[in-house]
Amino acid sequence: MSNRNWSCANDRGAQDAFVAAMEDLGGDAVGRVEAWEAIQNSTAIIHGEPVLGAFMPKLFTEEAYGCLAGVARRVHRILTAVTARYRTDAAYRALFGFDERLEALIVESHRGPLIPIMRADIFLNEETGAFKFCEFNADGSSGINEDREVLAAIEPAATFQRFAADFTVEGNELFDSWIDSFAAAVREGWGRPLAGPVAIVDYADAATLSEIAVYEEAFRARGIAASFVDIRDLTYAGGVLRDGEGTAVDAVWRRCVPCDLLERWDESSAFVAAVRDGVVPVVGGFASAVAHDKRTFCVLRHPATRPLVSEEDWLFLEETIPLTLPLDEQAAASAEILSDKDRWIIKPVDGYGARDIHAGCTCAAEEWEATVRRLAAGPGRYVVQEYVRPYRSLLVPAFSAEELRAVAPGVLPGVPGCGMAHNLTGLYVFNGAMSGIYSRLGMGKVISGDYTAASVRVRPR
């Protein structure tokens, strides 16, 4: 198409300068090992293990960053319009097919911004600027603390310091900015200032507790008491929500995802009652589940959505939302889906963390056909989506000294273990404005549990 004002190419000049600085230092093995050691001793812990960190950050020019900020505003605006229509139009709502319990929470119980926090994940081709959306994480929006800790680990390295002598470098600030947005959401929805204590609620067996602990400290540094509370420990009576120790809660940040709530519904009655009553501020009410669910990808390109957006926004959706279909008996009978397996990927409608994803390009034809038929015969919990081949860029991992001695030579002379990796780019959006970028790199065709690269904005000095 001719109008490509959302194309977000990212100039490689800064990356080339970082690589040159690293090569001038003979690969900076000391810096890579020290960065690895810093990550091991950091709060960037996922599933009990330190994250894998990239030594070379993802470097975004001012132009690319500004363009991505525009993309974030646009898609947030569109998703807000879709969510608002979902809440008021029963015919439109029927296109999604949500569980009736979740539907009731979305329709009947919401105050404040519809989507206060989101990470919109895209597959960005940094050379052409073209991209497609992967998913919208509108609940916990994880990875924030990983980004912070990986940047702190690589900043002292000689390579980074040499690079920073020629470029200004600005990392994400995603803690104070979110607290400001959280307080603004309370003012907008409940007409009063945030006082605390804040309950950050999720299920302990599903939550990223290491990141939540950092947020607890960030709230406290602003003079606002905050703590994690397992949803099952909450009690509610007379318009007062209390944590497991009996302390009254001033406001709630919901971090749980809808599928976890529905699985634990009977254990979560106090929280559900508080959400329904709307007396206690719940930032991240369940209206954001509309954006989070993969069925929304089907609806975004449905004719019923077209009247909700401008002509330009509709063109934007046609170009950036991958073709997505319910995985039902009709899809299972489609010769196109069964025979052209490399074109498709199957995703659970309300999953997260890349769990239970099946990419056709990773399996044999017989396995693909069996998977399609098996999941299509189930209760309608999957979509089949156009597979987007991720952009590849240079990954230089932070390694332990032992790993660095053992790895194979990399694609750069003198920099062992480096190689080309697939990219996922996440746009953090707080109350409609982009607040930062998340970058993940991996060797697999489904990017999950791989390397976190610090995302930074750069300008030549």
Residue 92 domain-assigned? no
Long-range contacts of 364-367 (CB under 8 A, 24+ apart): 365/341
The yes-or-no verdict on residue 278 having pLDDT over 90 is: yes
Q: What is the pLDDT of residue 354?
A: 65
Q: Which amino acid is at 296?
A: T
Same domain, 65 and 143: yes
Using DSSP's 3-state secondary structure scheme, residue 46 falls into: strand
Rounded percentage of the chain residues whose pLDDT exceeds 70: 98
C-alpha distances in angstroms, 50 versus 40, 153, 212?
A: 6, 12, 15
Residue 74 domain-assigned? yes
Using DSSP's 3-state secondary structure scheme, residue 285 falls into: coil
CB count in 10 Å sphere of residue 419: 18
Residue 93 domain-assigned? no
Q: Which residues contact 17 (CB under 8 A, 6 or more apart)?
A: 163, 166, 167
Same domain, 148 and 244: no
Q: What is the pLDDT of residues 60-117, one digit of tens each?
A: 999 999 999 999 999 999 999 999 999 999 999 999 999 999 999 999 878 899 999 9
Residue 134 domain-assigned? yes
Residue 329 domain-assigned? yes
Same domain, 334 and 422: no
CB count in 10 Å sphere of residue 69: 18
> How far is Cα 452 from Cα 426, in angstroms, rounded to an integer?
11
Q: What is the pLDDT of residues 338-380, one digit of tens each?
A: 999 999 999 999 877 667 899 999 999 999 999 999 999 988 8
Strands 451-453 and 433-442: antiparallel
| 359 bridge partner residues | 345
Q: What average pLDDT is seen over the chain?
A: 94
Same domain, 133 and 203: no
Q: Which amino acid is at 55?
A: F
Same domain, 398 and 449: yes
Q: What is the pLDDT of residue 436?
A: 97
Same domain, 404 and 365: no
Q: Identify the band that residue 4 occupies on the pLDDT scale cut at 50, 70 and 90.
A: low
Question: Among residues 387, 421, 436, which one ends one of the domains?
Answer: 387
Would you say 205 and 458 are in contact if contact means Cβ atoms under 8 Å apart? Answer: no
Strands (E) in 162-197, as ranges, are 167-171
- Pairwise pLDDT comparison (92 vs 443), residue with the higher score: 92
Strands (E) in 36-130, as ranges, are 45-46, 49-50, 52-53, 58-61, 117-124
CB count in 10 Å sphere of residue 390: 23
Same domain, 163 and 22: yes
- Domain of residue 249, residue span: 195-280
Would you say 451 and 63 are in contact if contact means Cβ atoms under 8 Å apart? Answer: no
Residue 439 phi/psi, 5-degree rounding, is: -130, 130
Using DSSP's 3-state secondary structure scheme, residue 122 falls into: strand
Would you say 154 and 57 are in contact if contact means Cβ atoms under 8 Å apart? Answer: yes
374 sits in which H/E element: helix 365-376
**CA torsion through residues 372, 348, 204, 212, sign:** positive
SS3 content of the chain, % helix, strand, coil (to 5): 40, 25, 35
> How far is Cα 382 from Cα 399, in angstroms, rounded to an integer?
37
Same domain, 335 and 434: no
> How far is Cα 387 from Cα 389, in angstroms, rounded to an integer?
6
Same domain, 79 and 206: no
Q: What is the pLDDT of residue 140?
A: 64
Same domain, 369 and 441: no
Same domain, 9 and 141: yes
Residue 113 preceded by cis peptide, ω within 30: no
CATH number at residue 228: 3.40.50
Q: Does residue 239 come out as left (phi exceeding 0), alpha (psi in the -120 to 50 range) or beta?
A: left
Residue by residue, DSSP assigns 285-335 as -GGGHHHHSTHHHHHHTSGGGGGGS-HHHHHHHHHHS--EEE-SHHHHT-H
CA 59 from chain centre, in angstroms, equals: 19
> How far is Cα 261 from Cα 227, in angstroms, rounded to an integer?
20
Q: Identify the band that residue 139 occupies on the pLDDT scale cut at 50, 70 and 90.
A: confident
Nearest to 89 by CA among 74, 71, 107, 77: 107
**CA torsion through residues 211, 31, 121, 370, sign:** negative
> How far is Cα 95 from Cα 171, in angstroms, rounded to an integer?
40
Q: C-alpha angle 200/203/206, rounded to 5°? A: 115
> How far is Cα 282 from Cα 252, in angstroms, rounded to an integer?
5
Residue by residue, DSSP assigns 256-275 as --HHHHHHTGGG-HHHHHHH
Residue 91 domain-assigned? no
> How far is Cα 271 from Cα 94, in angstroms, rounded to an integer?
26
Rounded percentage of the chain residues whose pLDDT exceeds 90: 89
Residue 94 domain-assigned? no
Q: What is the pLDDT of residues 370-423, one digit of tens each?
A: 999 999 998 889 999 999 999 999 999 999 999 999 999 999 999 999 999 999
The yes-or-no verdict on residue 1 having pLDDT over 70 is: no
Question: Among residues 220, 250, 280, which one ends one of the domains?
Answer: 280
CB count in 10 Å sphere of residue 248: 11
Nearest to 178 by CA among 452, 429, 457: 429
Residue 349 domain-assigned? yes
Among 118-132, 137-151, 322-336, the least confident range = 137-151
Q: What is the pLDDT of residues 6-50, one digit of tens each?
A: 789 999 999 999 999 999 999 999 999 999 999 999 999 988 899
Same domain, 49 and 15: yes
Tell me the mean pLDDT in the region 324-333: 93
CATH number at residue 383: 3.30.1490
Q: What is the pLDDT of residues 172-214, one digit of tens each?
A: 999 999 999 999 999 999 999 999 999 999 999 988 888 899 9
Tell me the mean pLDDT in the region 158-165: 98
Using DSSP's 3-state secondary structure scheme, residue 447 falls into: coil
Domain count of the fold of the chain? 3
